[in-house]
Amino acid sequence: MTTADYKQMLPSLPDLPGVYQYIDENDTVIYVGKAKNLKKRIASYFGVKKHQAHKTKVMVKNANRLIYTIVETEQDALLLENTLIKKFQPRYNVMLKDGRSYSYLVVKKERFPRVFFTRKVFKDGSLYFGPYTSKYRANELFHLLKKLFKLRTCNLNLSENNISKSKFKVCLEYHIGNCKGPCEGLESEEDYNQKINQVKNILRGNFKPVKDYIYEQIQFYADRLEYEIAEEYKQKLDIFQDYQAKSTVVSTKIKDVDVFNIKLDEKKAYTNYLKVVNGVLINTDYMELEQNLNTDQESLMLFAIQRFREKFNSIAPEIIVPFELTFVNGVTVTIPQRGDKKDLLDLAEKNLKYAIIQSKKQDLKKIRKQTPAERILKTIQSDLNMDDVPFHIECFDNSNIQGTNPTASCVVFKNAKPAKKDYRHFKIKTVEGPDDFASMEEVVFRRYRRLLEEDQPLPQLVVIDGGKGQLSSAMKSIEKLELQNRMTVIGIAKKLEEIYFPNDSVPLYINKKSESLKVIQQIRNEAHRFALTLHRNLRSKNFLGTELTNIPGIGGKTADKLLAHFGSVKKIKEADQKEIETLFGLSVLQKLNKYFTDRGA
């Protein structure tokens, strides 16, 4: 999408909140954004921004059109943006780095509900609690439920018509005492559902009703003089109180709140979440976000809040955050300065600090496991803002000395090493005279048309030796072949080692000590060396061949045979007459002698 396209739609852009979508030529949504003011936000993509991120420029360039939707409020814009991102998964929107699969405890919607672990959530009316990010914590909670309440674990269908006194006599759980036998009608549905209600209370963090229930059971059986059963419930109360004592009670004054904190570096956003129910910390989570085009802190925080609350099914009426948010409606936003809520925010910050340290340690381990080539290639990917790691790189260079014998070369590097069997030389066919731009356009077109015809893999990165002119010429061919979105193309100018991107007049300067720049320089130098090799060979061959073929009666094949045998014109002159006659005949000998005699040799 060009500035001209933007200027054409400018008069119709409203000063209202809304959501906009950039769409490419294949009608694929590549970016979704929200705005308090659509006109100002969209204008920011087309203004003069020297420091605008390269990815932003590429996204706008790849967009074919832009559509927008006006909404009533900023909150509506946030909700619609979130929905559209989930639906279309645009390549340039913020990307979650959390690919882990967590466990949930489900209370199944059925008669005599079962309680068990699952990693899949279905919209079947069942209650799902979690996700549990700590396996140890989840197992501890599940074992507590099994100790406190005898629940069925079989997957039998216990509808009214299926309960029988004889059909399920083989139930192992019943016979070893882990289940009271609802399948055999030995436990009423009312009693069973009372236990299920207490299970739900524990999973929600509501501990008081559970204690009241166990006290009632102790009193009930004690009044009936069934002291053994009363003692069993007393032991259960001790188990429950022991578990409750281990739970993190953060405040007796705070009810239900969600606490969020965030830290940013150059490439990532790190977010932390604490879920507090009735003053008890019942869940925590951590999430890393890649900063694509959503780089402002508020947008990233709002994105994280939406994801965390959906993930943990939170309906807490209050959220605690470190700075003001303008898009959150329907909940109370608190930025505490002191007291219990400030302590919670500090706790979230502390958790975040250690999570970041742990994450960076893991990243460091991954880097250490990488080969030097992988490390270098990922550095190139990062420095050039590429979507893919450039395992396959190709570089083009022209050689045109004093306007004669124009040639070009293509060198290939795979896994950061020269792949010499894939090198290619080109004799310029369609260009007359010294024209580096036209020559570059020709050889790039020939190279990639050939790869497409032969169904060969394309490189992830193409390097053009030269500045903006050579790069623009190469892009003409790449665009003719419709390859501009399938590989990254850059030009490298020799003087200051500036990196140019297509349609971008502002060069990128990579640190001179960077491994990525050294590899790009190595590829460029290798392409230059390889181009000069062919050029020099052609000049030498043309010079020698022209002198011999100027002799009347000696053609190109005979001249090649003479040079192949004797090595040079000088050695032919000094050669034994009989040797020439024996190998090439008397006629050739006489013609050579006449030529050298006439020239005074």
DSSP per residue, 524-554? HHHHHHHHHHHHHHHHHHHHHHHHHHTSTT-
Instruction: Express each pLDDT in 389-427 by its tens digit.
Output: 899 999 998 876 545 567 788 999 998 899 989 998 888
Where is mean pLDDT largest: 243-252, 321-330, 364-373?
A: 321-330
Considering the chain, what percentage of its residues have pLDDT values greater than 90? 11
Longest dimension (CA), the chain: 139
| pLDDT band per the 50, 70, 90 thresholds, residue 433 | low
The residue with greater pLDDT, 504 or 97, is 504
- The contacts of residue 121 (CB under 8 Å, 6+ apart) are 104, 128
Give how far Cα 254 sits from Cα of 29, 115, 118, 279, Å: 43, 29, 31, 5
Q: Which amino acid is at 113?
A: P
pLDDT at 100: 53
How confident is the model over 63-85, as a mean pLDDT? 80
Instruction: Express each pLDDT in 158-176 by its tens digit.
Output: 665 555 544 445 565 555 6
pLDDT at 473: 92
Domain boundaries, the chain: 3-93, 103-248, 257-366, 380-537, 550-598
Average pLDDT value over all residues in the chain: 80
The residue with greater pLDDT, 325 or 548, is 325
pLDDT at 464: 92
464-474 burial: b if 16+ Cβ within 10 Å, else e: bbbbbebbbbb
Give how far Cα 507 sits from Cα of 166, 247, 384, 476, 487, Å: 83, 56, 11, 20, 19
pLDDT at 94 over 70: no
Question: Domain 3-93 adopts which CATH fold?
Answer: GIY-YIG endonuclease (3.40.1440)
Please say whether the beta carbons of 214 and 236 come within 8 A: yes
| pLDDT band per the 50, 70, 90 thresholds, residue 477 | very high
Q: Which CATH architecture is the domain 550-598 placed in?
A: Orthogonal Bundle (1.10)
pLDDT at 461: 94
pLDDT at 319 over 90: yes
**Partners of 289 in the β-ladder:** 96, 269
Where is mean pLDDT largest: 237-241, 312-316, 577-581?
A: 577-581
pLDDT at 544: 47
Where is mean pLDDT largest: 107-111, 432-436, 531-535?
A: 107-111
As a whole number of angstroms, the distance between CA 148 and CA 237 comes to 8
Query: Is the model's pTM score more than 0.75?
Result: no
From the candidate CATH numbers 3.30.420.340, 3.30.365.10, 3.40.50.2300, 3.30.465.10, the one assigned to the domain spanning 380-537 = 3.30.420.340
How confident is the model over 98-111, as a mean pLDDT? 74
How confident is the model over 564-579, as a mean pLDDT? 81
N-terminal to C-terminal alpha carbon distance within the chain: 70
Tokens 């034994």, located at residue: 576
Please say whether the beta carbons of 195 and 203 come within 8 A: no
SS3 517: helix
pLDDT at 462 over 70: yes
pLDDT at 442: 92
pLDDT at 295 over 70: no
As a whole number of angstroms, the distance between CA 284 and CA 277 comes to 12
- The contacts of residue 287 (CB under 8 Å, 6+ apart) are 96, 97, 98, 270, 271, 273, 304, 307, 308
Please say whether the beta carbons of 282 and 275 come within 8 A: yes
